[in-house]
Amino acid sequence: MLSNNLRSALSGIIIKENWPLSPLCTLGVGGEAEIFTAPDSIEQMKIVFSAAMNENYPVYILGGGSNVIFPDGLVHGVVISTMNLNSIEWRTPFTADVDAGFKLPLLLKEVREHNLGGLEFAAGIPGTLGGAIAGNAGAGGHGVCELIDNVITIESDGEIINRNNSMIDYSYRHCGLADEKRIIVSVRMTFRPSQHEDQKIFENFMMMRAKQPHGHKNAGCTFKNPGGYSAGKLLDECGCKNLSAGDAVVSDMHANFILNRGHASSSDVIELIELCAQRVYNSTGIKLEPEIKIYGSCLFSQ
Ligand SMILES: Cc1cc2nc3c(=O)[nH]c(=O)nc-3n(C[C@H](O)[C@H](O)[C@H](O)COP(=O)(O)OP(=O)(O)OC[C@H]3O[C@@H](n4cnc5c(N)ncnc54)[C@H](O)[C@@H]3O)c2cc1C
């Protein structure tokens, strides 16, 4: 139940109650947000975030929903979407200030149209730039965080902080900015002039994508590759392909992908994720860590 304090702090900001989350998540699962809002300015976002944090209200930041699972049923708290923070401003021929809600595929398109390079590895990765930074999304040994000059965030106490690259700790599918509750709102990035090989690199990434499962809703790779191993290969060797729970099934094309055959629930997907992790652990002793952010109660709750 929304407190009066929070309700009055949010007056003047468009909020939706009991808002369905599954259409906003690429896996197509999850229940309804008790409160959903998509502020269209940093100021508004700061008001919502600070008000919710002051009231100890759970806050979830949502980008493109391509790497996240919300629980079924009513999700208590405020889901703050970055979808309306979505502009880009080129500061120099090489440097752009990009809002967190700007789509990563559109950024790649802009970068290529400006005859710049270095982001080819992002070909085929959906979602927003903010989500990509939060998880250091990438492929082929690269991650988006390597292209950051500066990141502007709203901290949980409402402070706005501008950090440069050297102040941010990032590694394979990890960014220290995501360790605590804060919102990435804007990112300054510098790209290098394009090189002859960039087109070939881009095409190779696109070819790799064509070999990944498609045709069903999914959230990309389920697990991170554990040091030196391919999670997909381990899952395959442990017989996980085609395992299912309800309408959630492990792809027979790539064992690290879970597909929603149509009416999967969040608990179906989570049950399957736990089953796969357990199988790999029982056979190899390796504990897989989910790449997908799972909210709600499960073995890997955040
Ligand atoms: C078909 C497919 C292929 C994919 N391939 C890849 C791949 O090759 N490599 C890869 O790394 N990923 C891949 N992914 C996963 C996903 O697309 C990326 O992780 C993506 O960067 C997530 O961005 P998002 O905006 O959708 O984040 P969301 O799913 O909305 O959020 C993910 C997490 O980031 C947090 N977050 C989002 N925005 C912000 C913000 N502004 N501030 C703070 N926290 C924020 C959320 O709270 C959540 O914890 C793939 C997904 C699909 C569906």
We report the CATH number of the domain holding residue 253 as 3.90.78.10
Q: How far is the CA of 18 from the centre of ligand 1 (A)?
A: 23
Evaluate whether residue 302 is within a structural domain: no
* 286, 290, 294, 298 alpha-carbon torsion, rounded to 10°: -10
Task: Mention every residue, 6+ apart, whose C-beta is less than 8 A from residue 208.
Answer: 124, 139
- One domain, residues 94 and 62: no
- One domain, residues 75 and 99: no
Evaluate whether residue 231 is within a structural domain: yes
Is the whole model's pTM more than 0.85, yes or no?
Answer: yes
Closest CA to 69 of 18, 28, 124: 28
- One domain, residues 98 and 166: yes
- One domain, residues 144 and 104: yes
Evaluate whether residue 299 is within a structural domain: no
Q: Which of 46, 59, 66 to mutate to test the pocket of ligand 1 (most atoms within 8 A of CB)?
A: 66
Q: How far is the CA of 115 from the centre of ligand 1 (A)?
A: 26
- One domain, residues 38 and 111: no
Tabulate helix, strand, coil % of the chain (nearest 5): 30, 30, 40
Domain that holds residue 8: 4-81
Number of domains making up the chain: 3
Atom of ligand 1 nearest to the CA of 295: 49
Question: Each residue's pLDDT tens digit in the chain (302 positions)?
Answer: 678 888 888 888 899 999 999 999 999 999 999 999 999 999 999 999 999 999 999 999 999 999 999 999 999 999 999 999 999 999 999 999 999 999 999 999 999 999 999 999 999 999 999 999 999 999 999 999 999 999 999 999 999 999 999 999 999 999 999 988 899 999 999 999 999 999 999 999 999 998 899 889 999 999 999 998 999 999 999 999 999 999 999 999 999 999 999 999 999 999 999 999 999 999 999 999 999 999 976 666 55
Evaluate whether residue 287 is within a structural domain: yes
